[in-house]
Structure 1
Amino acid sequence: MSYSTLISADALRAQLDNPDWIIIDCRFSLADAELGAKNYRRGHLPNARYAHLDKDLSSAITSQKGRHPLPDFRALSQKLGNWGVSNRSQVVVYDDAGGAFAGRLWWLLRTLGHDKVAVLDGGIKLWQKKGYPITTALPVIQATTFRPYLQESFWLTAGQVQNRLADRSISLIDARTPERYRGEVEPIDPVAGHVRGAVNRPFQANLAGSGEFLPPEQLRKQFETLIGDRSPEQIVHMCGSGVTACHNLLAMEHAGLKGSKLYAGSWSEWIRNKNRPIAKGK
């Protein structure tokens, strides 16, 4: 059996010794870019590698790009091979933020044509709560070759988003918190507000109190209410920098609403051009 959206802690525990399974720790903090790596060294799931959001899963920021530009896919594919990921591997990614950062690598792997990747539901917090093993030992990695099959249709550029909003062929969902979406506060980016025409669904709405994702049927009902008569393929997700937007995309896929896309540059890229329309309030 393969996993392509979420995997439970119990299911992963049963496969810890499976050499065909690769676990990757994606913990990160926007307030302290090295905290995730520090926490990894203090303790992580057995055999887990570490992927750094800025250094591994993003490329350099430029004057025209957002805060977490898409990585060089060729370089990422090389890293995946160095981490022991082959095209046959079942990959499991996790973090300590409900999947907010792990979702980025989940989406990147799918964009590279690798569907056998799942986010650990509940992350390392639920794993530890269940009493499952944590280690400080670094994994013994056998490097291999990962061959990418890039799916360029999985994301939209700023220009494509602007054009398709204008002809009303897409609906845009913003995963940021309501107060940031409304432009009441903006702790990170220099301009507050949202893309005119976007609707708000904070990624936290996908989670139950346990930190696990809501049941698929519940997620499906909520997203169907949000998108109305739109097909999933007409839905584009965004956030501040294209990271937590992947959480809403993952939630839709888990709910069986397949084919939505990512505006990878998101708000931090959108505001680089003052001619792009923005709005505040609801």
Structure 2
Amino acid sequence: MEIRLVDCRPAEAYRAGHLPGAVHADPERDLTGTGGGGRHPLPTADAFAAWASGAGVGPDTLVVAYDEGTGWAARLWWLLRHFGHDGAGTIPFSAWRGPLSTADEEVEPTSFVARVRSGDTADAGELLERLDDPRLVVVDARAPERWRGEVEPIDPVAGRIPGARNRFFEDASPLSPELLDAEELVVYCGSGVTACVVLHGLVLAGRDDARLYPGSFSEWHGLGPVERG
């Protein structure tokens, strides 16, 4: 098994110093698409496969993604899983204690075949229809003050999807039984990035059926009701 390190930080951070051998995944270019709702739509299968092939990710590659707490490494983990590649994990950049490289890393391209996983996303239409469905627990991964609607530094409207529970993506405490025992789980954030951190934790805790709402609040605030308080 080959290990492929992937740096999910902005390009300038990668150029300033990355883990030796790490390839780069540009958050806005490689891990974000151009069609769909919200600030960071999912890339198409073809676009993601082209990046993964160029990054040397093959069927037997173990991908280890890292960032500086932004959630983009987890986004890459989720995208790999979404497109049929389960061999992936994440580490924080701060965990590295070795030397850094500023070299342009050369890797042998492979042929990544995207096989889209079904049933791992939810859309706004489903959530609108199921706002009062007790079987579905919707989880907001943003900071508590954004969940409460006290502040909103990015989107034009503050608040949350009605009924959503809060699980801040930076919270390292054990997941609550309310989440682990829920019949169905959908996780969102501002734009479908930091929600992947919570989804990663849920998968590690045995809830590999939890789904992502890719459009997240950046799409929702223009389509559905908003709750505050």
Output the TM-score relative to the length of structure 1: 0.77
Q: Tell me what 2:79 maps to.
A: 108
2:37 is the counterpart of 1:85: no
Q: Tell me what 1:252 maps to.
A: 202
Deviations 1:134-187 (A, max 9, x none): 111121111110011111311111111222333333100000001111111110
Q: Distance in 2 between matches of 1:253 and 1:95?
A: 19
Alignment root-mean-square deviation, CA: 1.6
Q: Residues 237 and 245 of structure 1 are in contact (CA less than 8 Å); yes or no, is this contact kept in structure 2?
A: yes
Q: Tell me what 1:26 maps to.
A: 8
Where 2:81 maps in the other structure, the secondary structure is helix
Match of 1:135 among 85, 94, 101: 101
Match of 2:222 among 257, 260, 272: 272
Q: Residues 180 and 202 of structure 2 are in contact (CA less than 8 Å); yes or no, is this contact kept in structure 1?
A: no
Match of 1:243 among 193, 197, 200: 193
2:27 is the counterpart of 1:53: yes
Q: Distance in 2 between matches of 1:165 and 1:246?
A: 22
Shift of 1:258: 2.5
Q: Tell me what 1:204 maps to.
A: 170
Amino acid at match of 2:47: A
Q: Tell me what 1:190 maps to.
A: 156
Q: Distance in 2 between matches of 1:135 and 1:38?
A: 13
Shift in alpha-carbon separation, 1:190–1:61, aligned structure 2, 3 A = farther
Shift in alpha-carbon separation, 1:83–1:228, aligned structure 2, 3 A = closer
Q: Residues 72 and 194 of structure 2 are in contact (CA less than 8 Å); yes or no, is this contact kept in structure 1?
A: yes
Shift of 1:272: 2.0
Identity across matched positions, percent: 41
Amino acid at match of 1:108: L
Where 1:195 maps in the other structure, the secondary structure is coil
Q: Residues 165 and 171 of structure 1 are in contact (CA less than 8 Å); yes or no, is this contact kept in structure 2?
A: no
Q: Distance in 1 between matches of 2:198 and 2:77?
A: 12
Q: Residues 65 and 90 of structure 2 are in contact (CA less than 8 Å); yes or no, is this contact kept in structure 1?
A: yes
Equivalent positions of 1:171-182 (< 5 A) are: 171-182=137-148
Q: Tell me what 1:74 maps to.
A: 46
The structure with the largest helix share of the pair is: 1
Q: Tell me what 1:37 maps to.
A: 11
Q: Distance in 2 between matches of 1:54 and 1:184?
A: 28
Output the TM-score relative to the length of structure 2: 0.94
Shift of 1:61: 6.0
Where 2:107 maps in the other structure, the secondary structure is coil
Q: Distance in 1 between matches of 2:182 and 2:102?
A: 47
Shift in alpha-carbon separation, 1:253–1:229, aligned structure 2, 3 A = closer
Q: List gaps (5 residues or longer) in structure 2.
A: none
Amino acid at match of 2:53: G
Shift in alpha-carbon separation, 1:255–1:228, aligned structure 2, 3 A = closer
Q: In the comparison of the two structures, how many residue pairs are matched?
A: 229
Deviations 1:222-250 (A, max 9, x none): 332x327423xx01100000100011111
2:140 is the counterpart of 1:167: no
Q: Distance in 1 between matches of 2:86 and 2:131?
A: 29
